[in-house]
Amino acid sequence: MFGPLAFQENSESNDNDSNYETKCLLCNDSFNLKLCLPTFLKHVFEVHNLVIEDAQNIDNLPEYISFWREKFAKTPIEQIIPAISISLTSSKYFVLSTLSKDDKDLRHRLKLEKMLQMQDFERNDDNFSKQCLFCKLNFKGRRCDYLTHLSEDHNIRLGNPQNLVYIDELLQRISEKLETLQCLYCEKTFPDRVTLKEHMRKKQHKRIHPSNQSYDRYYAVNYLDPDRKWHNIEKEVDVDIPQQSGTQDNSDEEYNGWNEADTSIVCLFCTLKETDINKLCLHMTSKHHFNFYTITKHLDFYQKVKFVNYVRRQIHKLHCIYCDADFENNAVLDTHMEKDKHYCLPDLKVFDQPEFYFPTYENDSFLYFLEEIED
């Protein structure tokens, strides 16, 4: 029978966001979403004929509800969400789901904001403590240093610490695998820890299998676009690589040729393209008086990502990156920024915003080379 979606409540979601009264989307009744989420969903279904898809997994559910409450206050729900007629009853029902672009974008934004908040906490928290998974070290300090220890002392490759999130949960998963004598990479089970360690060493399995999508949650890159994970991007790349006669699939020569042809990087301020990020940065220094290395050296990795996206948007809109003044064409904008010395970094609060974590241009090559600049 058609009715409220049945689910088991997610124990970790909404713990911090749902512990106060939230008004219904369509009336003034209030609910404690942390304690009474099923009651709330039953209310909107029975009173308002509304179903919220996968509500228990929405990050910051109160803000999600507030967004739609404001929408429905201005425009009747019938004009926003198509009604669904059920043959067994004369009633019509409305379903809030990711089939709606507004709903999909909202859920994505809330998920991204939650991830960024967690990542900011994990980068700055220096009270982390945990015994090493492979030795007797009792570590205290920052999570990135703990991950560096795993990498340098035990050759455990989990990826760039700056790209990881929900690190405690990730480490717990790895710990559980090791305790059950499972290989991190191939997930085979071994009779004892010594055999497991030897297997992982010989097979170079001291890492997570890149095709294991259950680990996508722990890598920030997977939060950029809700429709495209890095696995999908890799597949798209593979399709576009031409097969050379006389060469083997996935050969080094084939990939090297593809890299040289397709990884050009566009200047942040003009249309110049380079395949070498260092050459491009030298161009920006000489032509635009903008030394990316020096000007952004105090920013962390994700602030640099946001800054690049902010600059792309401003230049696309013909707005100055410093004073936000708008101009009629690129030439006038360039003259203004050079004359007024506005080829510089604006105040941090201008671009250090969640909205600029989204790529302004899909597959912006400059973003992929930021790690090289970091090094």
Give pLDDT tens digits for 97-129.
998 989 998 999 999 889 989 999 999 999 999
Q: pLDDT value at position 106?
A: 93
Global confidence as pTM: 0.58
Q: Does the CA dihedral 7-10-11-14 come out positive or negative?
A: negative
Note whether 177 and 184 are within 8 A (CB): yes
pLDDT the model gives residue 250: 39
Task: Write out the two tokens for 220.
Answer: 């920030």
- The pLDDT of residue 299 is 87
Please write the tens of the pLDDT for every residue from 270-296.
999 888 788 888 899 989 999 998 899
Q: Which pLDDT does position 366 carry in this prediction?
A: 77
Residue 183 has what pLDDT? 94
Positions in the chain whose pLDDT score sits under 50:
1-18, 233-262, 360-362, 375
Q: How far is the C-alpha of 32 from the C-alpha of 85, rounded, in Å?
A: 30
pLDDT at 161: 87
Burial of 87 (0-12, 13-18, 19+ CB in 10 A): exposed
